[in-house]
Structure 1
Amino acid sequence: MRSLKTFCVYVLLVAGGVISIYPLVYMLLTALKPMTLLFEFPPRFLPSEMTWSNFREAWGSQNFALYLLNSVGVTLASFALIFLLSSMLAFAYSRFDFKGKGLSFAIIMGGLVIPSLTLLIPQFVLIRQLGLFDSRWGLIVVYAAGAIPFTTFLLKGFFDSISRDIDESVEMEGGGAWTLFASIILPLSKPAFVPATIFNALTVWEEFPWALTIINDPLKRTLPIALANFQGQYTTQWGIVFAGSLIAVLPIILLFLLLQRYFIAGITAGAVKG
């Protein structure tokens, strides 16, 4: 009976893996097809002829390389701002008691349930008033603000699991709150940063509506806009679209592969420690 249960679990896992990876395989095979074979009938899963021309054309058109660099810069800057603010917020809510703590934390967590598209107009007005319209900082500030609630929630859960005895030890050694935060809490919380890194990087990397709304200068646009530009009004070269999409998703896949062994541990660490 136990063997049958194990077999069923593995069958479900394999089926789930196949379903998850199929879109990427289909994209790759389509990107390798010449334009003349994209709409052949009957369709073939494995192309009879392969070419790398779609990848070369995707990389060399629509300012693709420039948009890729813009996305890298915006993602890294957003990442730095998110973790600077979120880690300090999480530390304050985890280690200090102050008036309005519960209410203010509930307000921050309320940001988790607000759809981002509903904030498009007020964000647009605010960014114009701040003089950040048509600038990369207009992207970075909004991306960071949108990611702070989730990141704060995740880090606070891990900070809460760290024993308060450490706080007393630091205090006895003459250290203050900053010493506790920078020298103790942050180094111990590395597992919690891994899932936050993956989620935030994915969110910023693939964001499209806000980038399309605020950026007019073609030299400042990010990668999702380059992918949208591959789709024509009347015809679309799907081989180039899929080739560009694969290039765009490759950095996120590599990031996940590098951090995957820490991913589940980081998600569950705050719940099982202490």
Structure 2
Amino acid sequence: MTQRLVPLLRPSQSMAPQRRNRSRFVPGVAIGIAALASLVPFAYLVIVSLRPSSQDGGSLWAELFSSVPIGQYMLNSALVSIGSAVIVVVVSALAGFGFAKLPYPGSKAAFAVVVAGISVPVATTILPNYLNLSHVGGVGSYWGPILMYAAGATPFSTILMANFFRSLPDELVESGIADGAGYGRVFTEIMLPLSMPALVTIGVLAFLGAWNDLLIGLLFLPDPDMRTISVGIASLESVRSSNLDLVLTGSLLSAIPPIAAFIAFQRYLVSGITAGISK
């Protein structure tokens, strides 16, 4: 009887590796298609940027830099994006630590308000913020859009940091307090080093959001010399309305810093977002 059962078990056992391979093949194909769909537009931009200029037959890159102060636009975007990212990281880390490890009466209600802030579209706040900041010199100054970008990214970043800090044992804080370190030293010497993946994640996301934005930069920085790269690329249509290749070349240049930031910090991004949404 045993000898008859053994052959019957072998086919099902041999099918198990095939099923596992099939289950891995389908997601792999889907990921490959998604990756290809993402790379095709970027590859097209690279091909276009290598074409000769329609104006004088020279390089499109040379025409781009001669048409607009593209270097100044890049510096303006870097200033605004890095400034807003720094504010987001500092505020979100402090707020997240407070919500996660220092509960106080009404902290749950305050955290609910932060969560509700995610549902508020940025476009609905631009007009009142524009009017308010125009009275205090925020329009036409770099700090105006910096605050706007930071305010828009802080709610999500605070939630991510609070969830990350909740995933850390409370004993870390308790042991530090017992040793006389105080909450300030516990935060800076224990919690911040452990939260580096989450900090890098919110910093990169805040940087990318500010770098790629067009509307806030267009409204709050009306001076042509203070334009961000997104606004500067949009202005190319009025400078060379018939040369679409020039606009696409500028778009490629604008995409390089975000891609470089993502590649440089990709190992932190996955772990940071996973830890921030795990609870």
> What TM-score do the two structures reach when normalised by structure 1?
0.89
Q: What letter is aligned with 2:178?
A: M
Which residues in structure 2 correspond to 1:194-273 (within 5 Å)? 194-232=200-238, 235-270=241-276
Aligned to 2:156: 150
Q: Is the contact between residue 59 and residue 244 of structure 1 (CA under 8 Å) also seen in structure 2? A: no
- Mapped contact 2:80–2:146 kept (Cα < 8 A): yes
Q: Within 1, Cα distance between the matches of 2:278 and 2:232?
A: 43
Aligned-pair Cα RMSD in Å: 1.9
Q: Distance in 1 between matches of 2:171 and 2:240?
A: 66
1:78 aligns with 2:84: yes
Please tell me whether residue 185 in structure 1 is matched to residue 203 in structure 2. no
* 1:55 CA drift (Å): 1.6
Q: Could you say if the C-alpha distance between residues 109 and 236 of structure 1 is closer, same or farther in structure 2, counting changes exceeding 3 Å?
A: farther
Q: Which amino acid aligns with 1:112?
A: I
1:237 alignment partner AA:
N
Is residue 126 from structure 1 mapped to residue 144 from structure 2 by the alignment? Answer: no
AA in 2 matched with 1:182: T
| CA positional deviation for 1:20 | 1.1
Matched, 1:3 2:3: no
Structure 1 contact 194–263 (Cα < 8 Å) conserved: yes
Matched, 1:159 2:177: no
Counterpart-to-counterpart distance in 2, 1:205 and 1:69: 11
Q: 1:254 to 1:119 in 2, by over 3 A?
A: same
1:159 to 1:120, Cα distance in 2 relative to 1, 3 A? same
Letter of the structure 2 residue corresponding to residue 267 of structure 1: I
Question: Structure 2: how far apart are the matches of 1:134 and 1:177?
Answer: 39
CA 1:253 to 1:158, structure 2 compared with 1: closer, same or farther past 3 Å?
A: same
Matched, 1:23 2:41: yes
Q: Distance in 2 between matches of 1:192 and 1:77?
A: 18
Residue pairs, 1:83-98, within 5 angstroms = 83-98=89-104
Q: Using the alignment, how far apart are the partners of 1:59 and 1:233 within structure 2? A: 12
Unaligned 5+ segments in structure 2 are 1-18
Aligned-residue sequence identity (percent) comes to 31
SS of alignment partner, residue 158 of structure 2: helix
* Deviation for aligned residue 1:272: 5.5
- Contact 1:167–1:180 (CA under 8 A) maintained in structure 2: yes
| SS of match in other structure, 1:230 | helix
Q: Deviations over 1:30-80 (max 9, x none)?
A: 2222355xxxxxxxxxxxxxx871122223322111011111111111111
1:173 aligns with one of 179, 185, 189: 179
Alignment gaps of 5+ in structure 1: 37-50
